[in-house]
Amino acid sequence: MRLDHHNSAADLLQTKDLCVEFAGLNAVRALDGISLSVQSGEILGLVGESGSGKTVFSLSLLGLLPPTAVIRRGSIVWRGNDLTGLGDEEMRRIRGSEIAMIFQNPQASLNPVRSVGSQISAVIQLHRKCDHATAKQEALRWFEAVRIAEPERVYAAYPHECSGGMCQRILIAMALACRSKLLVADEPTASLDVTIQAQIMDLLLDIRERYGTAILLVSHDLGVVARMCDRIAVMYRGRIVEQADAKDLYAAPQHPYTRLLLQSVPVPNPLMRPERKPNVNDSAGHLLAAAAGCPYQPRCPEAISRCGELDPALAEVNGRGHSVACLLRFGDANGEKPRNRDGEASGPAAPSLKVDVQGYSAPERAG
């Protein structure tokens, strides 16, 4: 089931101009004006390389930012209520019962000195206000729902007695047991082998189909995101640089950074990869900070002089919700067609990838 973004229900979650800084001698702006929405029952992919701000965004939604992080401006609106003004006690009532999160390392997310059953029962008792016996039955029911074999045995086990894939299923059951409306999955398969990764992704798709749970899938794996998501938002240096329906983004990526990510996806046959011009800043570009202009400009192989002067905002390119923050897609301030470093006219990128709604297909050779 893939949702039509323009015809679905009202947003469950919407962030507007969200800005988060880490205080210190050298303050770091981890999020710089993030405006993003998640709708009921959809799967939204949030992609970008390490350090782009994906995890900080996820933690900010649940009020789990560390003490050194400060929300400088913006809002996080959950079902009509702004979460940024809530206290710790009010956030605890929402966290788990309405918005839940599963992390990269499932075994590290569980208490090693308590059985997994006692941990999930405690969460159910806290949010559902029931006795221990009822909580245990509910936990066992959710263990079965996430396809855990021998739920009674697993209920009594400790985290070190369970595999990584089993621990991830336990955390998913814990998140769903309180009937949360939104599941934030931060690299949920990063520490798992390929076979278990596929099983966990199948499980998340099944959960969306059966319970209508919305999922924010944070990942750097473009293959997983292509298979899973209805929409995709691409992050770079704390900003959204492109967002679109999954099919549109894979068929015609508009931002140079998005194309860089897609061209980095491993393919079985290197001859199938689109040709790519080398860039001396390509490997270390995320450490470079432009004083003005587009934050991607120091790294961009297509940058022109105007890119160092103007900081582009997200703008729609096709009337179907496909937005991009790139001067090269819209012309300069005088309305002239931008030109790349070779002096050639530069316009919207030609389609370089194809994606099937059932899964990811490898890039095709350009031209």
150: confidence class by pLDDT, cuts 50, 70, 90: very high
Tell me the C-alpha distance between 153 and 35, whole Å.
44
CB 234 within 8 A of CB 218: no
Residue 215, pLDDT above cutoff 90:
yes
pLDDT at 364 (0 to 100): 39
pLDDT of 231 strictly over 90: yes
C-alpha distances in angstroms, 349 versus 83, 164, 331? Answer: 38, 41, 14
C-beta separation of 58 from 215 below 8 A: no
Distance, CA of 322 to CA of 252 (rounded, Å): 10
Phi/psi at 359 (5° precision): 170, 180
Residue 275 has what pLDDT? Answer: 57
Per-residue pLDDT band for 46 (boundaries 50, 70, 90) equals very high
Which structure tokens are listed for 92?
């605890």
Q: Which amino acid is at 233?
A: A
The end-to-end CA distance of the chain, in Å, is 33
Q: Is residue 283's pLDDT more than 70?
A: no
Write down the pLDDT at residue 236: 94
Domain layout of the chain by residue ranges: 11-220, 253-275+282-344+353-367
Instruction: With cut-offs at 50, 70 and 90, classify the pLDDT of residue 27.
Output: confident
Q: So what's the pLDDT on residue 331?
A: 54
Q: Write out pLDDT tens, residues 166-211.
A: 898 898 888 888 888 999 999 887 777 778 888 888 889 998 998 8
Question: So what's the pLDDT on residue 276?
Answer: 54
Torsions phi, psi for 138 (to 5 deg) = -65, -40
Say if residue 96's pLDDT is above 70.
Answer: yes
Give the separation between CA 14 and CA 40, rounded to whole angstroms.
11
The pLDDT > 90 percentage for the chain reads 40
CB within 8 A of 23, min separation 6: which ones?
A: 68, 69, 70
Give the separation between CA 258 and CA 343, rounded to whole angstroms: 22
What CATH number matches the domain at 11-220, 2.60.40.650, 3.40.190.10, 3.30.390.10, 3.40.50.300?
A: 3.40.50.300
pTM: 0.81
User: How far is C-alpha 215 from the geometric centre of its chain's CA atoms?
Assistant: 9
Q: What percent of the chain has pLDDT over 70?
A: 80
Q: Can you give the pLDDT at residue 288? A: 43
Which residue is it, tokens 């031209």?
367
> Minimal CA–CA distance to 289: which of 238, 335, 342, 356?
238
pLDDT reported for residue 279? 52
Q: How far is CA 314 from CA 158, 294, 339, in A?
A: 47, 12, 20
- What local confidence, expressed as pLDDT, does residue 271 receive? 56
Please write the tens of the pLDDT for every residue from 295-353: 898 888 888 888 888 888 898 887 788 999 998 877 544 444 444 434 444 444 433 44
Helical H runs in the chain?
A: 54-61, 88-94, 116-128, 132-145, 151-156, 164-177, 194-211, 222-228, 246-251, 256-263
For 245-252, what is the mean pLDDT?
91
Please give the mean pLDDT across all residues of the chain.
81
Q: Buried (b) or exposed (e) across 13-41, using 16+ Cβ within 10 A? A: bbbeebbbbeeeeeeeebbbbbbbbbbbb
